[in-house]
Chain A
């Protein structure tokens, strides 16, 4: 009865490197959401994806950030050429297809803490 699985739990990258964050949704969930929690701030919505589709990316920075949710495998949040300001906790949530836009079906993962040095 695994929940939303995120890995790695902690990730350290040097400035200019790439960071890849993975999220496996709960069994039966086909909708994934990514949120970012900057230090001393609340979570901010980044992107909402279904399998092979980006539904809403209004919260994604315009450059260096991308997300995908392939037909097979986990959702990936990719940050290219990381900078110190990318240091944050990145949380993934998933929901079932039946009520994809209902907040009640959200389940959050434990997050990936990215540190850029």
Chain B
């Protein structure tokens, strides 16, 4: 079946530190991979996506590369800001299962000045 395993948090970093949040997946077909961000009290917002192996998604300084050989989609940012404090969810969608999303458990990030 389909599943997503995400690095557990919470993660606390100082401003301008390097961020990595690990995400690995299991899928029966050819999934698309996503990172969503949830700010306090808000819904999920799409941060970036990748649809096939070796694709790199990027947005707002965040990047993630679809690695089929390691079934991974790790999220990285070179220099985090206080405004990046949020919960980050890795997710996959597999056309073979109707394009519903499978989410990881989320990683809470707090950036301190």
Binding site for B on A (CB under 8 A): 4, 6, 33, 35, 40-45, 48, 55-56, 59, 91, 101-104, 106, 108-111
* Nearest B-chain residue to A9, judged by Cβ: B41
Contact A43 B43, beta carbon cutoff 8 Å:
no
Binding site for A on B (CB under 8 A): 4, 6, 32, 34, 36, 41-46, 49, 89, 91, 93, 95, 98-106
**A26: min CB distance to chain B, Å:** 12
* Nearest A-chain residue to B36, judged by Cβ: A108
Contacts beyond the supplied A4-B43, A35-B101, A91-B43: 11 A-B pairs with Cβ under 8 Å: A42-B4, A42-B104, A44-B103, A48-B100, A59-B100, A101-B95, A101-B98, A102-B99, A103-B49, A106-B46, A110-B41
Contact B49 A108, beta carbon cutoff 8 Å:
no
* Nearest B-chain residue to A101, judged by Cβ: B99
* Nearest B-chain residue to A38, judged by Cβ: B105
Bound complex: CA A110 to CA B46 (Å): 13
User: Is chain B's binding surface mostly helix, strand, loop or mixed?
Assistant: strand
Contact A103 B105, beta carbon cutoff 8 Å:
no
Contact A103 B34, beta carbon cutoff 8 Å:
yes
Contact B32 A109, beta carbon cutoff 8 Å:
no
Q: Which residues of B contact A111 (CB under 8 A)?
A: 43
Q: Which residues of B contact A40 (CB under 8 A)?
A: 105
* Nearest B-chain residue to A41, judged by Cβ: B105
Bound complex: CA A116 to CA B102 (Å): 26
* Nearest B-chain residue to A110, judged by Cβ: B43
A33 touches which of B36, B46, B100, B102 (Cβ 8 Å):
B100
**A31: min CB distance to chain B, Å:** 10
Q: Which residues of A contact B6 (CB under 8 A)?
A: 42
Q: Which residues of B contact A106 (CB under 8 A)?
A: 46, 101
Bound complex: CA A53 to CA B91 (Å): 26
